[in-house]
Structure 1
Amino acid sequence: MSGKDMIMDLLVAVLYIALGFFFLMKGADFFVDSASGIAAKLGVSSLIIGLTIVAFGTSLPELAVSVTAALDGSNEIAVGNVVGSNIFNLLVVAGMSACIYPLVVNKTIMKRDWPLSAAAALLLAIFLIDAHISRMEALVLLACFAVMLFVQIKHSKKEKEEVKEEPRSYGKLMVYLIVGVAGIIIGGQLAVDGATNLARILGLSETLIGLTVVAIGTSLPELVTSIVAAKKNENEIAMGNVIGSNLFNIFFILGISAFLNPISVAQTALIDTTILIVISVVFWLICRVYPLNKKTGLAMVLTYVAYTIYIILR
């Protein structure tokens, strides 16, 4: 490849990344606004919207990557994408959101959903002891997802919350929601493609690209959505999106992926899942005592930097 061709490829890769972030920002903006509006219309708490609709929408890239990887027999990508994305969500998405705007973590998240996400990671670790996720284990994950969704919706009806008036119609809100999801998916894909091409042009290994770019790239929607939500003071959507996405990733995405094609992985998957359990418990305990502010957020981001250095060197 000539120097001119390399420069052109670099410019195209950077353009993809820039366009990706533009679509992610605009898509997330539409998504958070419409999700808040739907919550007001339905009289449902913003927390439940964050844990369900927003979490589902921002996890679509992980779903697409993991299911495709499972069907192609690329099991390491299917599991690594989910575990890597969950670690990124908790440490970077929540951490960077807190650095920009201090987050008030809802009591329901602290008492129920955050511990549940740690329990989900523990269940996954148990399944990975034999380095295999069978169809029966996949059904267990999907059953857990169904029960979790039922309990969240049931409890949301009991919560009393002052609901803001929403002048926009359901039709208009749904259009905004769909446009937001489309923007998030297109933006995530463009950003991943651009970053992957940039990494290859710069001579980084395929393994390193998979461990970093794919997991981080599919989590960009969560990152942008939570930051936008934090800026809009929609704290429940910001943290609900992080914890909801992590639950969705393990219970639903891995459940579907392993059901379609039982997954076999290397023992490193168990190590990474154990790391996910540890950081979930440690930062849950920290946030029970200290606020999720800039200092805590910075500690989370630095922990992710240390984890990234570890996976590069191992």
Structure 2
Amino acid sequence: MLDIVWFLALATAATAVVWKGSTWLESAADRLAVGYGVPPVVQGAVIAAVGSSMPELMSVLLATLLHGEFELGVGAIVGSAVFNLLVIPGLSVLVGTGGVSTSRELVYKESLFYMLAVAVLLLTFSLAVIYNPLEGAGLQGEVTRPLALFPIVLYALYVFTQFLDATEDEIEPDPSVDRLRTWLRFGLGLIVIVVGVEGLVRAAIGLGDAFNTPSFLWGMIVVAAGSSVPDAFVSIVAARADRPSVSLANVLGSNIFDLLVAVPIGVLVAGSLAITFAHIVPMMGFLILATTVFFAIARTDMLLSEREAWLLIGAYGLFVGWLLLESVGVSNAVPT
């Protein structure tokens, strides 16, 4: 029991550390974009998404390279995507000035790439099982570097379409920005994020050992929620400032980066990694369900109402409840 309390306390402290590091990193990234005259479309689609998704990226790298737990990293990405889809829009409505308006561009254009991201990642895992099968229970396969490039190419296409749709004038670099000092702040934020995410990963592994269940289940709760705090903070601030479209765009942009870049980078760095399809399918299945719920609600009258916000948060509660039942052995949808 003391071990469980310790790991929960570690996860709480690590979440605070991730929050602080992400704040420094994102503010430095914004300043660097201004200092170098980066076009707004690149700043929004790439720099902001990468900055807010850095904890998720670090969770994949640390879980894979230091602990040999690639599926924990994947679980953290999937759990973070579900959190971003269900909790952040809900909180943005509840703490904002009223319902959050959506747009046809957001619902149709951004949703297209997001749904493609989910499908491509699942297809990548499926191809690994089909063409690089491994011995073991649960249909195991090896994700290789060529397979990992598949989703990254799609992300490059996403960035390219953002460039094509850009109508802003060219931005001149701001000479008042102290680039050296800002880069140092960026590096410090990255170091703090690494420390915090390592704490989250260790807490997830420890809880998995304590309950004798796969650590990736706890990664979908502990690491996912802890690493999603920066996204939640950015989106809630935008909602309070009556900029709801920024809130929702940040959610989708971060999720697209996480699915198409953060997961494959773990494979590119490691060379090749094994996955168990019986573990991946339930995770991706709930992500698809969360995606369907989010876009169905976002499409109705192009507005997220307070009632719909509670529905989204309630759906996330069901997700966490299912994971907890899996973790204590009551449910067995995910083979162990």
Bin the TM-score by the shorter chain: 0.7 to 0.9
Aligned mates of 1:253, 1:140 — CA distance in 2: 13
The equivalent position to 1:92 in structure 2, one of 87, 90, 95, is 87
The equivalent position to 1:61 in structure 2, one of 55, 58, 68, is 55
Gaps of 5+ in 1: none
Please give the residue correspondences for 1:175-214 in structure 2 after superposition, counting only pairs within 5 Å. 207=214, 208-214=217-223
1:135 aligned partner: 145
What's the TM-score once normalised by structure 1's chain length? 0.76
Aligned mates of 1:183, 1:229 — CA distance in 2: 24
Is the partner of 1:263 in helix, strand or coil?
strand
Gaps of 5+ in 2: 130-138
Aligned mates of 1:65, 1:213 — CA distance in 2: 11
Aligned mates of 1:297, 1:175 — CA distance in 2: 39
Alignment pair present for 1:278 and 2:268 = no
Q: Is the 8 A contact 1:50 1:237 kept in 2?
A: no
What's the TM-score once normalised by structure 2's chain length? 0.71
Change (3 A) 1:25 1:76: closer
Q: Percent identity?
A: 24
Q: Is the 8 A contact 1:27 1:179 kept in 2?
A: yes
Change (3 A) 1:155 1:18: same
Is the partner of 1:59 in helix, strand or coil?
helix
Aligned mates of 1:83, 1:12 — CA distance in 2: 21
Q: Is the 8 A contact 2:18 2:192 kept in 1?
A: yes
Aligned mates of 2:191, 2:85 — CA distance in 1: 24
Q: Is the 8 A contact 1:184 1:221 kept in 2?
A: no
Change (3 A) 1:281 1:310: same
Aligned mates of 1:54, 1:26 — CA distance in 2: 16
Aligned mates of 1:105, 1:176 — CA distance in 2: 34
Q: Is the 8 A contact 2:100 2:305 kept in 1?
A: yes
Q: Is the 8 A contact 2:62 2:198 kept in 1?
A: no
The alignment covers a number of residue pairs equal to 301
Q: Is the 8 A contact 2:50 2:257 kept in 1?
A: yes
Aligned mates of 2:38, 2:313 — CA distance in 1: 35
Greater helix share, 1 or 2? 1
Change (3 A) 1:245 1:43: closer
With a CA cutoff of 8 Å and minimum separation of 6, indicate the structure with the bigger relative contact order. Answer: 1
Alignment pair present for 1:307 and 2:319 = yes
Residue 302 of structure 1 deviates from its aligned partner by: 0.8
1:117 aligned partner: 114
Change (3 A) 1:78 1:168: same
Change (3 A) 1:127 1:17: closer
Change (3 A) 1:17 1:229: farther
Residue 301 of structure 1 deviates from its aligned partner by: 1.2
Q: Is the 8 A contact 1:99 1:295 kept in 2?
A: no
